[in-house]
Amino acid sequence: MDRNEIISCRKEANNHLVNELLPFWVTRIKDEKNGGFITHFDEKGNDTGEDEKSLIAQTRSIFTLSSAHRAGYGEGRLAELAAHGMDYLIDKMWDKEHGGFYWMTDRSGKVKNDQKIIYGHSFAIYSLSEYTLATGDERGRHYAEAVFDLLQKYCVDTMYGGYWEMFHRDWQLCGPGSQGGDRKTLDVHMHLMEAFTTLYELTGLEVHRRKLLEIIELLLTRIIHPEYKTGIPQFFRNWSVAPQIKFDIIWGWDRFSEDGQKGHATDNTCYGHNAEFAWLLLHALDILKVDPGDYTEILRIIFDHTADNGIDQEYGGVFVEGPHSGGVYDREKEFWQQAEVLIGMLDGCLMFGSEKYWKAYVNVHRFVFDKVINKGVGEWYPLLSRQGVPIWTHMSHSWKINYHTVRAMVQSIQRLDKLTET
Amino acid sequence: MDRNEIISCRKEANNHLVNELLPFWVTRIKDEKNGGFITHFDEKGNDTGEDEKSLIAQTRSIFTLSSAHRAGYGEGRLAELAAHGMDYLIDKMWDKEHGGFYWMTDRSGKVKNDQKIIYGHSFAIYSLSEYTLATGDERGRHYAEAVFDLLQKYCVDTMYGGYWEMFHRDWQLCGPGSQGGDRKTLDVHMHLMEAFTTLYELTGLEVHRRKLLEIIELLLTRIIHPEYKTGIPQFFRNWSVAPQIKFDIIWGWDRFSEDGQKGHATDNTCYGHNAEFAWLLLHALDILKVDPGDYTEILRIIFDHTADNGIDQEYGGVFVEGPHSGGVYDREKEFWQQAEVLIGMLDGCLMFGSEKYWKAYVNVHRFVFDKVINKGVGEWYPLLSRQGVPIWTHMSHSWKINYHTVRAMVQSIQRLDKLTET
């Protein structure tokens, strides 16, 4: 690892965060008329006018602003904006009758989809905890704990462990198949680990610690591949692998065939999730004050799988997905996978001092700065061809928003600083 | 099954319930001075003065009084007494700071043991639900639901399923070994099934139904023996069989050697629990409106194991325990096992029309009426020799109380009535 190269990457990242990313959001996110955040922007950064506010986009924006404030950016402006988002989230999205947050409102705050979706609630816990850690405003803790309690009451499968993920407004479990009521996913359980980590960081409560330790064990023994340690996307109730299907409620970018099936539906893993899982696990262990030594082997296997299979040595960047045993199915480039692999590879460098992970980091860093960032606008293109030509060009909508991009820069800068200290 | 014999047993049971058991309790249970119930009586039915009120004894008494009232006994007096018990339970045993009920107070209501023990909380849910079903007083539902919510928040093992059982006052999980914080038991899970059944009967809520279905599946796939369908008493976290140990907090009659070990610690099943599990399962299916047809084979195996191994053909009555594969270790006679086998064998008769179960019922019925009942006093001896000579002679203390005896008569009469109708 060349010290000058580290410093140069750090400079680039800091410049992007301070002069491009954060200004992109600070100048456009506030909905002055209706409260909350505007979250739909086109390639030029103009509001597309789409009449929706999603639970994910509102909570992730609160996380982004709060975490950047806690990391020392924004001179107070980010905390003010986060508080503005909190007002909307509590006033318009909290279900005063049944508890929990609605999945979707229109811009004015009228409920468009009243389902209780655990993916969104994981971000509620994560973001509201971060908000209180950043600002001291106890509203965040109050609602984060309330959501945690609702999850424990309504969502745990007390037979096979883990959490059910899709509910109606009154917390009745949704039906099977595309309604999602009979499936469990890597995605939700990984984000619950992320959420419980920050909740425990905030509260220090034993019950939050216990549930965090339990979900870590669940991820390690049920959800990642027993041999390759790669994430398996979907399961049936008893943790047998389920062929990946498209749910009625979506929150991401997975592309399916017209019948809702996925190619390689039972042998598919995603590099961005794997790297994200690894660094979130390391972060959880740090907050728990648990020695990461016992996890060294697993983490090395995951980082190696990512570096060996997920990185495009020819055009740069991170591929979408491939088989557990190695290789690639989908060679396009999704923005969020670049973001998560940046952080993961830096954790690999810090933990193992490995030149391989540093090369992987630099590869992805260059791809992001040369191809993914929409220069002069400041945010990232969501999807690019293998060669780095934008396929989708909007800067934000309900699922994209700012959490991966801003977090990648905040977290990378902290890790690059540590690398220069070593 | 001889119709005259059925009618004769029914007459004996009804006479015992109406003229002996219920009067025993109605005339002595009310603590006029301190509120709540007096629960310690010697062989003659005199108050022993023991200065304790246990969560189990207070809640079980509320159940007994409420259920007998709901079944049509007592002309209102039982409901009044139950309400008197509710006042004490809520005022003196509910932890206003952390939620949940204390394990033990003295007679005046001062807390003697502030731990949160799930065995006791299962009876809280069961009794408070029955109380509201019997009386319409919504306080029962309020606290039953509150306890259910606390269980879901603090007690579920979200990794392996099932419930942790021993907690400190603030719901921090107790330590391992004799503190019980690393064990799971048949006893607690069976009583949670019983509790969730009556809670669901009261509320009709989907979440109560769902958790009841889950715990039934848990009992059937984790807790009863895969081949013999007999109950396994203790487990480690991951449902591997744990050698039976004595916990610091006890609630029953299990006898251990001085080092807290049990003879045959890993191959031991108890006939009373098995019969109780079977009839409680049938009752749960009835409340759930689930066809018991799918459970026919399991129920027949359990009833056969009880009738073939648990019944003393020479001296009458139900043995204490034996190996899963058949046979007997302990030939003494515990009161509660007689009570539960009475109900279980009658359910066997109703379900299978089997003469074998009727003979087993009559055997135990005769043993109870000839040997176990303390004549002229009205309650049952807690422990007798194989031949039916009382070993322990008190009529009640914190763990014995009235729930098994009164329930056995109320439930048996209902089943004997059904048998005469067929």
What pLDDT, in 10s, does the model give residues A219-233? 999 999 999 999 999
How high is the pLDDT of residue A255? 66
Torsion of the alpha carbons at A379, A385, A390 and A393, rounded to the nearest 10: -80
A254 pLDDT band, cuts 50/70/90, is: low
Q: How many residue contacts between A and B have a Cβ separation below 8 Å?
A: 65
Q: How far is A206 from chain B (nearest CA, A)?
A: 6
Q: What whole-number distance in Å separates Cα of residue B313 and Cα of residue B363?
A: 8
Q: Across the interface, do B173 and A210 touch by the CB < 8 Å criterion?
A: yes
The amino acid sitting at A420 is T
| Per-residue b or e along A111-142, where b marks 16 or more CB atoms closer than 10 Å to that residue's CB | eeebbbbbbbbbbbbbbbbbbbbbbebebbbe
Lowest mean pLDDT among A121-125, A260-264, B199-203, B356-360: A260-264
- Quote the CA–CA distance of A118 and B36 in Å, as a whole number: 43
Give percent above pLDDT 70 in chain A: 98
Q: What per-residue confidence (pLDDT) applies to B25?
A: 98
Kindly report whether the global pTM for this prediction surpasses the value 0.90.
yes
Q: Tens digits of per-residue pLDDT, A69-98?
A: 999 999 999 999 999 999 999 999 999 999
Question: Which residues of chain B does A154 touch, with a Cβ-Cβ cutoff of 8 Å?
Answer: 152, 207
Query: What ipTM does the predicted assembly reach?
Result: 0.94
Report CA A136 to chain centroid distance, whole Å.
Answer: 23
At residue B257, the pLDDT reads 66
Mean pLDDT of chain A: 96
Nearest CA-CA partner of B137 in B202, B189, B200: B202
| Cβ-defined contact of A159 to B217 (cutoff 8 Å) | yes
The 8-class DSSP code of residue B26 comes to: H
Task: Kindly state the DSSP code that residue B395 receives in the 8-state scheme.
Answer: S
pLDDT band per the 50, 70, 90 thresholds, residue A257 = low
What DSSP assignment string belongs to B255-313? Answer: ---TTSB-TTTTS-EEHHHHHHHHHHHHHHHHHHT--GGGGHHHHHHHHHHIIIIIB-T
- Which residues of chain B have a pLDDT value below 50? none
Nearest CA in chain B to A237: B214
**Residue percentage of chain A with pLDDT more than 90:** 95
| Per-residue pLDDT band at A253 (split at 50, 70, 90) | low
pLDDT at residue B254, as a whole number = 65
Q: How many CA atoms lie within 13 A of A206 on its CB side?
A: 10
Q: Indicate the pLDDT class of residue A265, thresholds 50, 70 and 90.
A: confident
Task: Spell out which residues of chain B touch residue A159, defining contact as CB-CB under 8 Å.
Answer: 161, 214-215, 217-218, 221
- CB-based contact A340:A349 (threshold 8 Å): no
Q: Which residues contact A330 (CB under 8 A, 6 or more apart)?
A: A319, A320, A321, A322
Q: What is the pLDDT at residue B253?
A: 61
Asked if the Cβ–Cβ distance from B159 to A214 is below 8 Å, we say yes
List the single residue in B153, B156, B206 with the smallest CB-CB distance to A158: B156
With contacts defined as CB-CB under 8 Å, which chain B residues touch A215? 158-159
Q: Which residues from B are below 8 Å from A157, CB to CB? A: 161, 214
Compare CB distances from B207 to A153, A160, A210 and report the shortest one's residue.
Answer: A153
**pLDDT at residue A309 greater than cutoff 80:** yes
Beta carbons of B153 and A156 less than 8 Å apart:
no
Instruction: Please work out, in degrees rounded to the nearest 5, the angle formed at the alpha carbon of residue A59 by the alpha carbons of A53 and A64.
Output: 120
Say yes or no to pLDDT of A54 above 90.
yes
B269: β partners = B322
How confident is the model at residue A250, as a pLDDT?
84
Which residue type sits at A252? G
Contact check, Cβ <8 Å, B218/A153: no
The pLDDT assigned to B312 comes to 98
In this predicted structure, what is the pLDDT of residue A252?
72
**Which pLDDT belongs to residue B279?**
98
Contact A152 B156 (CB under 8 A): yes
B135-140 own/partner pairs: CB under 8 Å, 24+ apart = B135/B66, B135/B69, B135/B79, B135/B82, B135/B83, B137/B83, B137/B86, B139/B86, B139/B90, B140/B86, B140/B202
What are the structure tokens assigned to B190, written together?
Answer: 């069976």
